Amino acid sequence: MNHGTKIPAIQVRQLTMAYGDFVIQRELSFDVGRGDIFIIMGASGCGKSTLLKHLVGLNAPAAGEIFFDNVRFTPENSAGYDRILRSFGVLFQSGALWSSMTLAENIMLAMDQYTLFTRQEKMERASFKLGLVGLAGYEGYYPAQISGGMRKRAGLARAMALDPQILFCDEPSAGLDPLSARRIDDLILELRESLGTTFVVVTHELASIFAIGSNSIFLGPVGQTAIAHGDPTTLRDTSRDSRVKEFLFRGEKS
């Protein structure tokens, strides 16, 4: 598939991220195509999760701009900003489920805030989302009653509650055993194929990067900028940058 011809869902232009005078990354420019599974990768501490926070509006750029479907993503553009936020779903690293709520109640929470569905309609939709992630029949379970991998899948179901166009995932397979991690990867691929969802995924897991990634950005050390873009497998096979090759060949015998 030629990912260079995809219509951009996200356009980042000359983005600089900083906390006060401390620059995390400078002058990042890249596109995320519609239907991409876009991987944000790089060495620990380079600003991967910080970039994700900028993309979902939790952090404001020190400089530069972010566009979604050619609309500038800024609180000053109030109507466009709110509409863009409604098109997002976010899977946090821990799953971030409310422990005092059942899985169905966790998923229904966003519907309570943003829709006029009846309770029966919300329950039906929550059950449908749980079914999509392989958790049919678990509506009444609490997060503490299920495994870590199941909590990640439930978190993904909650992120999908309002049928988002773009799903942002922060380390979706972190802390999981290899089988559970593979199930998360397979689920992301299935959702992209069946729903056409665009994914932006922060991960350092090589198995996930190569299994699901169709495009990527490789961030340089703190204070620098991106040092590579493109399909992760192509970067592994063709990049001449020693930092990229070292990261993508981790664990392989020389």
> For 2-5, which contacts have Cβ atoms below 8 Å and span 24 or more sequence positions?
3/33, 3/36, 3/214, 3/215, 3/231
Boundaries of every domain in the chain? 1-87+197-254
Q: Is residue 25 pLDDT above 90, yes or no?
A: yes
pLDDT of 4 strictly over 70: no
Report whether 168 contacts 198 (CB < 8 A).
Answer: no
- Report percent pLDDT > 70 for the chain: 96
The pTM of the full predicted model, rounded to 2 decimals, is: 0.90
pLDDT at site 1: 41
Q: What is the CATH number of domain 1-87+197-254?
A: 3.40.50.300
pLDDT higher than 90, residue 107: yes
In this prediction, residue 164 carries a pLDDT of: 92
Phi, psi dihedral angles at 147 (to 5 degrees): -75, 170
Q: In one letter, which amino acid is 24?
A: I
Q: Per residue in 143-199, pLDDT tens?
A: 999 998 899 999 999 999 999 999 999 999 888 889 989 999 999 999 899 889 999
Instruction: Say if residue 3's pLDDT is above 70.
Output: no
- The position carrying tokens 């599974």 is 37
124 has pLDDT over 90: yes
